[in-house]
Amino acid sequence: MPKRRVYVLEGKTEEEIAMAMAVTSRSPLPFDEILSQIDSKKSGNFLEKFYINYGHGSIADTAFIHIAIENISQIAVKALENTRLAAYQEKSTRYQIMDRRHIVEPSEIKKSQYHKIYLEIINGLFDLYEEFVKILLSNARKNIKRGKDESESAYENRIRIPVIDRCRLILPTAVMCNVGLTMSGRSIEYTIAKLLSSQLSEVRALGQEIKKVANNNLPILVKYSDPIDYLIRQEKSLQKLGKGIIGKRILPHPRGKFVELVEYDGNALGKVLSATLLRFSGRSYAEIKKVVGKMSRKEKEELFDKIIGNRKQRHDKPLRELEATHYTFDIVCDYGAFKDLQRHRMTTQTLQPFTTSLGYVEPMNLAETGKVKEYHALMKKVEKVYKVISKKFPLEAQYLIPMAYRKRTLFNMNLREAIYLIELRSRPQGHISYRRVSWEMWDQINKVHPYFAKHINVNKSQ
C-alpha cells in the first residue's frame, strides 16, 4: 500500500506550481513528478489555455505572490486593502511616530492654486501632532513609574505606545504608509484591474507599479489586468444617480447614533438551529425546519446553548453554521478606528467617501495637553479648506482630512464574524474608538438576540 506523503512544492515558479496543482486532476503521477516535467513555456501555454481562454479561475488561486509596497497614502492603502481574499501587514500609526517628510501630495492639487494652502494645513497638523507627542510623553515620564525589574527600553515602549495611539487622530490621511500583501494569482489580477480603474491618480499609478512588479513572478496571470470600463462607467454614473435621488445636501449624523443595527434576521435562531441540525441529523432542511418551528422559544434557546458549547479559550471558534444569519450595521467612527475595522474582510463593506461632513472626535487626554482651543481651531480650519478644495477636487481633498474626522461604512456580517469582531475589538489592548464600536454592536445584538449576545465574550473593562 502506498505511504502517505506530505511535502512542500518548491524550486519552481508560482505559475509552474499552479500548473502542477491543476494537472493532478487528470494525471495519476505524484505532484513532484508532475512538477519536474514542467517549465515556464509549458506553464505559460497551459495558463493561457485553461485560465485565460477557458476561465478556470481556481488554477490561479494556487499561485501566490508577496509584494512590499512603501510610501503610499492612507487613502491608497485602503483602496488596496479593499480585497477580501488576501493578507496584509501594515505600518501602524498606533505604534510609530510619523513625520511630515512622508506625505503624499496629489498631482492634481500640486499643479493647482491650492497647493500652498494644502501644504499649510498638512504642516499645521504635523506641528500640533509633534507638540502633542512631546507634551504627553513628558507627562507620562513624570506620572508613570518604571517597574523595578523593567528595562529602560521596555519602560519607554510601555509609555510611548499609548501616547502615539492618542495622537494619531491629528494625522492627515496623506501620511505615508508601508504595507506588505500576499495574494493569489486570481486576487492580484482583479486587484490590479480595480486599482487601474480608480478615479484617484495615486491609486491608478499604484496599480501600474504593482502590475509591473507582479509581471516578473506571474506574467501570464496578470497579463490582462487592465482598467475595467464597466467599473469606471458605473462609478461615475452612480455618483450622479445617488445625488439625484437622495439630494446633494449631507445631513449631520444624529448625536449619539454612531452604530445602528439597520438590518437583522427575525428568524435568526431558527436558521442557525436548522443549519446545525442538518449537519448532524442526516435529515433534509425542510424536515428540520418543521421540527424547529414547533419548538418553544425556551427549547430553541437551550438547544443553541448546546450548539455553541463552552468556549474556554479565545481560539475556540464557534461552528460555521452560525454563518446562517446576518447583521447589517451603519457605523460612523473616526478614520483611525475605521482603519482597524476595515481589516475584518469577512464582512461586506460599503464605504462612503471620506469628508468633513460627519464631524470629528477629540483625542483622549486632550485637556492634558493644554491645547484644547488650538486643536478645535485647527480642525475647523481643516474643514474650511477642505470645502474650498473639494469643490474642484472632491476626491483629492480628502488627503488633508485628519483621522479624527468621522467616516461612514455599512458593515454586513454573519453571526460568526460578529462574535469574532466584537471579542477581538473589545479587548483592553485595543483603541478606545473601535472598542466603543464593538460595545455598541454587542448592545444592539443583545436587544434583538439576547440568546446570541450572552455567548459573545465582550470586554467592557475600562
pLDDT tens-place string over residues 147-179? 888 899 999 889 999 999 999 999 999 999 999
Last residue of a domain, one of 321, 343, 360: 321
Number of domains in the chain: 2
Average pLDDT over residues 441-448: 98
pLDDT band at 11 (very low <50, low <70, confident <90, very high): very high
Average pLDDT over residues 31-39: 96
pTM of the entire predicted model: 0.92
Residue 29 lies in a domain: yes
pLDDT band at 314 (very low <50, low <70, confident <90, very high): confident
Give pLDDT, residue 195. 98
pLDDT tens-place string over residues 398-408? 999 999 999 99
pLDDT tens-place string over residues 252-277? 555 557 999 999 999 999 999 999 99
Last residue of a domain, one of 33, 62, 91: 62
Give pLDDT, residue 257. 72
Last residue of a domain, one of 321, 341, 364: 321
Average pLDDT over residues 335-344: 94
pLDDT tens-place string over residues 205-250? 999 999 999 999 999 999 999 999 999 999 889 888 877 776 655 5
Residue 428 lies in a domain: no
Using the predicted structure, report yes or no on whether residue 23 has a pLDDT greater than 60.
yes
Give pLDDT, residue 256. 58
Residue 331 lies in a domain: no
Residue 275 lies in a domain: yes
Residue 52 lies in a domain: yes
Among 286-290, 362-366, 370-374, 382-386, which stretch is predicted with the lowest mean pLDDT?
362-366
Residue 279 lies in a domain: yes
Among 112-116, 361-365, 404-408, which stretch is predicted with the lowest mean pLDDT?
361-365
Residue 33 lies in a domain: yes
Average pLDDT over residues 373-379: 98
Other CB atoms within a 10 A radius of the CB of residue 351 amount to 14
Phi, psi of 315 (to 5 degrees): -90, 5
Whole domain around residue 298: which residue ranges?
268-321
Residue 453 lies in a domain: no
Q: Closest Cα partner for 65 from 218, 191, 190?
A: 218
Calculate what percentage of the chain has a pLDDT beyond 70.
98
Q: Please provide the DSSP assignment of 75-140 as one string.
A: HHHHHHT--SSEEEEE--TTTS---TTSB---HHHHTSTTHHHHHHHHHHHHHHHHHHHHHHHHHH
H helical segments located in 266-407:
268-281, 285-293, 297-308, 335-341, 366-369, 372-390
Cα separation, 229 vs 226, in Å, equals 9
Give pLDDT, residue 240. 82
